[in-house]
Amino acid sequence: MWQRRKNDVPLVASAAGLCVLLIGVTVSATNSNWLQWNRDQSLEQLRLNPKSAVLQLVSASPASRELQLQAIAQLPQSLERDRARYLLASDLIQQQQGKKALRVLAGLEQYSVLAPHIALKRAQAYEVTGDKIRAQAAWQDLLKRYPDSPVAAEALFVLGRNQPQYWQRAIAQFPSHPRTLEIARLLLKQNPDQPQLLLLLAHDYEQPEITLVLDQLVNKYAAQLQPKDWEVIAFAYWENQVYAKAGSAYAKAPRTPLNIYRTARGLQLGDKRTEAILAYQQLVRAFPDAKETGTALLHLAKLTQTEDALIYLDLVIKQFPKQAGEALVEKAEILDTLQSKLAAQTRQLLLNQYGDSEAAAEYRWKVAQERAAAKDYRGAWLWAQPIPTRNPKSILAPRAGFWVGKWAQKLGRQQDAKAAFKYVLSQFPQSYYAWRSAAMLGLDVGNFDTVRDLTPQVVMPGRSLLPVGSAALKELYQLGQADAWTQWQTEFQNRMQPKVAEQFTDGLMDLAKGENLEGISQVSTLEDRETPQEQTEYKALSQQLTYWQARYPFPWRRD
């Protein structure tokens, strides 16, 4: 099941990013893939943007890059010159220098990939000069020449101030454009009794105080809402972690396994136990083979009495092998409370038949920690050893691998310890424990006492290449333009269940906008995708350096 957010976004992201930075050179001795990722991405950047002086200026301030952009803008016609002129014009408009911007924009339409945005900049430049007649003509010209481009919404917004039909056209043609949402808010101030406009805002579930909009829809217009409307409302509640209301709304949405599951889960998180049980049971009856049903059975086991719980868990073990490990752990704990000898047998079944499951990794690690606490380091060492190899995707894998080395040291097994540290360094190079392993191997990466004194050379990454989106979107993003985010709001139409590439792109957009925790969450939760195709897409993406640069960004870097 796709989840847009994790509830526990790691607070050590910046530290982990530092670890990646520090071990980047030394890892090459044990992991050739590390350098290959860098090499492949560098070649891709050079192929698409060979020695682009303009793109190197994207992160610089307008004042510091002005002279360089002016010089490039005087060169013979080329992509570099066009980019320089566009950036220069954008900077001038921000500085309220409309006349200068108009001179820079003159004849720039040959920069065809951004032709609609050039028309937008021209209209904005006239607005800055205060020339209302020419500004009005520029907006009309933009609308005439580029009626289907998202930038047309900007023209419709401005022209609609005096001619209301333009605002209605924006609502119909560009419902997710930020300007259209602004129109909706303005119209609701004039007349709040407009449920369709409230529904339009419900799609913008990240806006402040969105729950007030959702509450208004539910409390005043429930009788007018269709199942698809309820799904939009439910999703918005869910994304804002208002789970009880989300569950109630999902109950009125189309009957899909995911919607029924979220009905039940929302009710459960909202402390409505009886209603949640009934909803979970409804899912089991209606969709007995759906992937959500396995999770529903696990929740039912926790909500019901012991005898029923064992029945539900046995169903999971029989019908849902991906969740059987977790069910076996739960079953063993119940059997413990019943003082049944079958508990040990159940745990052995977990290790023998489902040893590759996350539940098995967690059980092994729990026992290893208990042995270590009792100073039984050999027992801890033996129990933790399978985790890095049997459960390499587990969050516990690098940690267990590191402690396998530490416990081997306590046992005097220095060669085994060295092998364990090398394994962590080679297989989990992006992890915190790779840094600690590198330190244990004597590599020059610092330790808790010395890392602050290191002064490695830091090469800041450029803008990543977007995997999806229009040519205009990709170009705007490469140029560091805020208009890229606006363009993406119109292009991104699959928000409830985005593809891997779409979610990654959305994460990059959040990072570019300065919403760092949200962006990191978007990127990091890609690893939780479940279908084989999604896992394949994530694996391919995670081999690229751009993925790790987005997962561990430098939000407070000094340009």
HSE-up (13 A, CA, CB side) for residue 122 = 22
Place of tokens 């012991």: 306
- The rounded distance, in Å, linking the Cα atoms of 213 and 185 is 11
Q: What is the chain's alpha carbon radius of gyration, rounded to the nearest angstrom?
A: 28
Nearest CA-CA partner of 275 in 312, 248, 305: 248
Q: Where are the alpha helices (DSSP H) in 257-376?
A: 257-269, 273-286, 291-303, 306-319, 321-337, 342-353, 358-373
Burial class (CB in 10 A: 0-12, 13-18, 19+), 255: middle
Query: Cα separations (Å) of 327 from 3, 298, 318, 489?
Result: 21, 7, 10, 41
The separation between the first and the last C-alpha atoms of the chain, rounded to the nearest angstrom, is: 39
Secondary structure of residue 290 in the 3-state scheme: coil
Nearest Cα to Cα of residue 199 among 235, 154, 169: 235
- Name every residue whose Cβ is closer than 8 Å to that of residue 531 and which is 6 or more positions away in sequence: none
The pLDDT score that the predictor gives to residue 50 is 54
Distance CA 433, CA 417 (A): 14
The full set of domains in the chain, from first to last, is 13-48+460-551 (no CATH), 357-453 (1.25.40.10)
Residues contacting residue 464 through CB under 8 Å, at least 6 positions apart: 508, 546, 549, 550
156 with 165: CB under 8 angstroms?
Answer: no
Write down the pTM of the prediction.
Answer: 0.83
Greatest Cα pair distance, the chain, in angstroms, is 88
Give the per-residue pLDDT at 10: 30
Helix pair angle (432-440, 414-427), 10° resolution: 140
Amino acid in position 145: R
Burial degree of 130 (CB within 10 A; 0-12, 13-18, 19+): exposed
Q: Which helix (H) or strand (E) holds 255?
A: none
What is the CA angle 31-386-446, rounded to 5? 45
Q: In this predicted structure, what is the pLDDT of residue 453?
A: 83
Q: What is the pLDDT along the chain (559 residues), one digit of tens a residue?
A: 444 443 332 323 333 333 433 333 333 333 343 334 344 444 444 344 557 899 999 989 999 999 999 999 999 999 999 999 999 999 999 999 999 999 999 999 889 999 999 999 999 999 999 999 999 999 999 999 999 999 999 999 999 999 999 999 999 999 999 999 999 999 999 999 999 999 999 998 888 889 999 999 999 999 999 999 999 999 999 999 999 999 999 999 999 999 999 999 999 999 999 999 999 999 999 999 999 999 999 999 999 988 899 999 999 999 999 999 999 999 999 999 999 999 999 999 999 999 999 999 999 999 999 999 999 999 999 999 999 999 998 999 999 999 999 999 999 999 999 999 999 999 999 899 999 999 999 998 988 888 888 887 777 777 878 999 999 999 999 999 999 999 999 999 888 889 999 999 999 999 999 899 999 999 999 988 888 899 999 999 988 888 988 998 887 766 5
